[in-house]
Amino acid sequence: MNPAKRSFLITLCLMLSIGLLHAPQVYAETVAVIDSGVNPDHADLAGKIVPGVDLVDGDNNPFDETPEQHGTTVSRIIASVHGQNRIMPIRVLDAGGFSPEAIVIGGVNIATSSDPRVINLSLGSPTNTYSQALTVAMQNSARAGKLLIVAAGNGGQANPAFPGSLASLFGGLAIAVGALNRSGSISDYSNRAGNSQNFYVVAPGYSNFSSYIGTSFAAPYVSGTAAAILDQNPRLSAQQVAEII
């Protein structure tokens, strides 16, 4: 993505998130958040959570048990970008923020077979290890018309970490997201675009909701923006939304 388009997305994300863009609100778009679950009692998320699933505990109560409230913060960012955005929490990360690969794949499969057209993945392989099984699951999701928004990773590397590194493989239906610091420059820790330069954008890697920083918190700005675009233009395909972004 060229710098002009990247700058446009940054501006749009920030305008939406702080309420400077007052678009008419007609529809409600839902984002599937594959993460550590959510605290549904948080005031910022009142009326914004649709039924989800907990693949860690095997029930329908995907409560966020992480100390940093990772999934809850991701969800709050998505909700803050546009008032009509809704969240479908799919819990795959345990209280320590970890998950077996099979559970992540299960989360992707559930999101693929569910209504949300935007899927947020603020997670990645801690060892940047390629997985054919997860690649296939995400490819099936893209083929089903879903838009996959994936954190690029926090290693300061030249390329996005897996699975953000897959962005270039899915015909424009996946976007890797790097992080900006508060000065508006790409953060030192953020993985760069590398081979995914045409499928990579940057967004704020911080929020007013948490002291934590990272590409995990940049991705939901983009997911929230994608949902906002669909809210105003529900006939757009996921690929068209990606092209706008």
Q: Are 162 and 138 in contact (CB under 8 A)?
A: no
- Cα 154 off chain centre by: 15
6-14 long-range contacts, Cβ below 8 Å, gap at least 24?
6/201, 6/202, 9/201, 9/202, 9/203, 9/222, 9/225, 9/245, 10/180, 10/184, 10/202, 10/203, 10/204, 12/225, 13/81, 13/203, 13/204, 13/221, 13/222, 13/224, 13/225, 14/204
- The SS3 call for residue 178 is strand
For 180-209, what is the mean pLDDT? 93
CATH 3.40.50.2000 for domain 3-244, yes or no, is no
Confidence of residue 4 (pLDDT cuts 50, 70, 90): very low
At 28-50, the pLDDT tens digits run 899 999 999 999 999 999 999 99
Q: Per-domain residue ranges for the chain?
A: 3-244
At 124-166, the pLDDT tens digits run 987 788 999 999 999 999 999 999 999 999 999 999 999 999 9
At 60-117, the pLDDT tens digits run 999 999 999 999 999 999 999 988 899 999 999 999 999 999 999 999 999 999 999 9
Q: Is the dihedral of CA 87, 104, 106, 228 positive or negative?
A: positive
Please say if the pLDDT value at position 1 is more than 60. Answer: no
